[in-house]
Structure 1
């Protein structure tokens, strides 16, 4: 169960986007194959140990510049443009290794953000700046969190589950926003829509969503209810994209719904059922693309005007998306043994053997 929980906790679609257990478990099985990699001595020999300065809770530190790395060699770990978080170190694509503090737990989740990295462990969560400052933002185990599209805001359910905390990352350091008091059982941050956090809970099998703005005073929006399904993400126009079972009785995630992230049924757009033999993967950081299992990318910009949706070819007939590492590039798994960086125009790097990567999880990218 612990291994499954760790596997469910990362990727751009994030574990809390899965609103039914079967879909979550299938996704975890796929990610477990892609994420659990073998550490090999050559990685340690080529890496450069980066200095880290540890900063306590509610303290802050300013980012420091980092020298630009040379272009990566084809067919190497660096060519994927991905950062990997292992149990005791963060390995970056440009060859740096940041040792993780020994907090008595495992570092198993996180994300690449413009300021550096958000790292989530069993006993605390922190922001690691590229220059080496490591700032604690939460003490205790954080199970649910959401990162804004541009990577500048992070919301999480506090370990005591009484509040939802938010920080803003600025060039000067970390700013703490006014927290939200949790009022419903199971309430947690789901996803950012612009400057708002969509907070989710469940009631009688339905999703109860509320928009909350950490940056504006006033009355929160009224909750809005939707059928059970899976949240794929928020589009570039800040529309929530979800799936639901087909309306004419067929099984599978073959209906998509776009809606404004406010409690206004007049701006809800229910798309026609669209059946596709490949599963939906994570949404791109800019909200314009969905990666598809079995190779391909689904453009969201033309929805709902374009029917059927335009699907671009991926980088291999049997590829399986792992996570987005840039606004228009995703790391995909080829045949279970190799990884490729694939762009939305179908351009792929030379394959990299999984054994040539450090052990851990590939971190999802958030940012421009």
Structure 2
């Protein structure tokens, strides 16, 4: 063993005294191996960083936003949960053939959506769906368990949690919602919410419409008022206004006020003022616009309003009605669903024949329902740049 150890010492001494050439094959291989290890380490660091970014971006929620102590506050454009949730909240949607239904709007019943191009998509994550709107990049729907955004591929993301007090802007790109005693206004996209403002408000209020840079709020015992974004709410309740239907142009609202005859409330144009929401002018007082106030009542351009009666529907020229004059077209059907406007000239209703398209020019066309549509279905109002939500 002593001789072997002496031989090894001698060999190593010679190696140290005579270092290998810098470009000999062994050195080249060693250098290449070290470089590969450095590249792998760098790639691993980048992957870990990206994973952290994705993880952090996916867990941002409304609970992470502190409630301001007073006044409105401009948010930091905080993105809410840009990742779709896993199954079963977002079950895979099987590819289906594109078939134009010819109706002009999507349909929904229970927790399913039938699109105009012939697909069926699930509406999950909010309990029983109570409202749904078609917006430019998908659908916004809600129920007692919250509000969600449904993408065209069938995946969905949460927008806000367990509260059914919310309203969309006329273009479907802004959402006003209440949690406890804070009114939030946020941008809506297929990636989620970006909160813009947070304003403390009285308990028990509900947002009902957007009016330019303000949000109309309602409280059962006090009436209607305005909340100006980025400002402290100054109470100016108006209990003379009995209904607010929406803002066809974003600058004024259409609503209802009491008339001289208690049985015949009047159509009214409403506007914002220093003293809150006020009546700009009063129009026709013979319309019954109290039924089915959930969406689709006014055309996207604000030109017509639908009055659903027991045995028919009257299409009323809104401009003329606000001027106190009557100009209307009769849609002579007893509709079994809430009417909704497909566009500026066509109201959709339904009877035992199927969907009925009633034009403001007096025309009428029946379109059959898509196969598989279940009972208790309704139209999905479409929000465009001038379409009110309600």
| Coarse TM-score class (shorter-chain normalised) | 0.5 to 0.7
Cα distance in structure 1, aligned partners of 2:240 and 2:289: 22
Residue deviations 1:110-133, cap 9 Å, x none?
Answer: 111111100113323211122444
Cα distance in structure 1, aligned partners of 2:257 and 2:357: 30
Cα distance in structure 1, aligned partners of 2:231 and 2:277: 23
Are 1:151 and 2:167 counterparts? no
Query: What secondary structure does 1:241 align onto?
Result: strand
Conserved in 1, the CA contact under 8 Å of 2:224 and 2:241?
no
Are 1:252 and 2:252 counterparts? no
Q: Paired residue for 2:204?
A: 186
The counterpart of 1:135, out of the listed 153, 157, 161, is 157
- Over 3 Å counting, the alpha-carbon distance change for 1:254 and 1:363 in structure 2 is same
Larger Rg: 2
The counterpart of 2:356, out of the listed 334, 340, 343, is 340
Cα distance in structure 1, aligned partners of 2:365 and 2:138: 24
Cα distance in structure 1, aligned partners of 2:126 and 2:281: 47
Cα RMSD (Å) of the superposition?
3.5
Q: Which runs of 5+ in 1 are unaligned?
A: 1-54, 73-77
Deviation, 1:346, is 3.4
Q: Paired residue for 2:184?
A: 165
Q: Which runs of 5+ in 2 are unaligned?
A: 1-57, 62-79, 85-94, 386-390
- Over 3 Å counting, the alpha-carbon distance change for 1:132 and 1:276 in structure 2 is closer
- Over 3 Å counting, the alpha-carbon distance change for 1:326 and 1:195 in structure 2 is farther
The counterpart of 1:177, out of the listed 192, 196, 201, is 196
Residue deviations 1:183-220, cap 9 Å, x none?
Answer: x23211011113321112244xx41412332xxx3444
Q: Paired residue for 1:60?
A: 82
Q: Paired residue for 1:365?
A: 382
Cα distance in structure 1, aligned partners of 2:168 and 2:211: 10
TM-score, normalising length: structure 1: 0.66
Conserved in 2, the CA contact under 8 Å of 1:338 and 1:354?
no
With a CA cutoff of 8 Å and minimum separation of 6, indicate the structure with the bigger relative contact order. Answer: 1
The counterpart of 2:251, out of the listed 209, 219, 238, is 238
TM alignment of 1:202-281, pairs within 5 A = 202-203=220-221, 206-213=222-229, 217-220=230-233, 222-227=235-240, 229-236=242-249, 238-247=251-260, 250-264=261-275, 268-271=279-282, 274-276=285-287
TM-score, normalising length: structure 2: 0.63
Q: Paired residue for 1:84?
A: 107
Are 1:309 and 2:326 counterparts? yes
Conserved in 2, the CA contact under 8 Å of 1:233 and 1:242?
yes
Deviation, 1:365, is 1.4
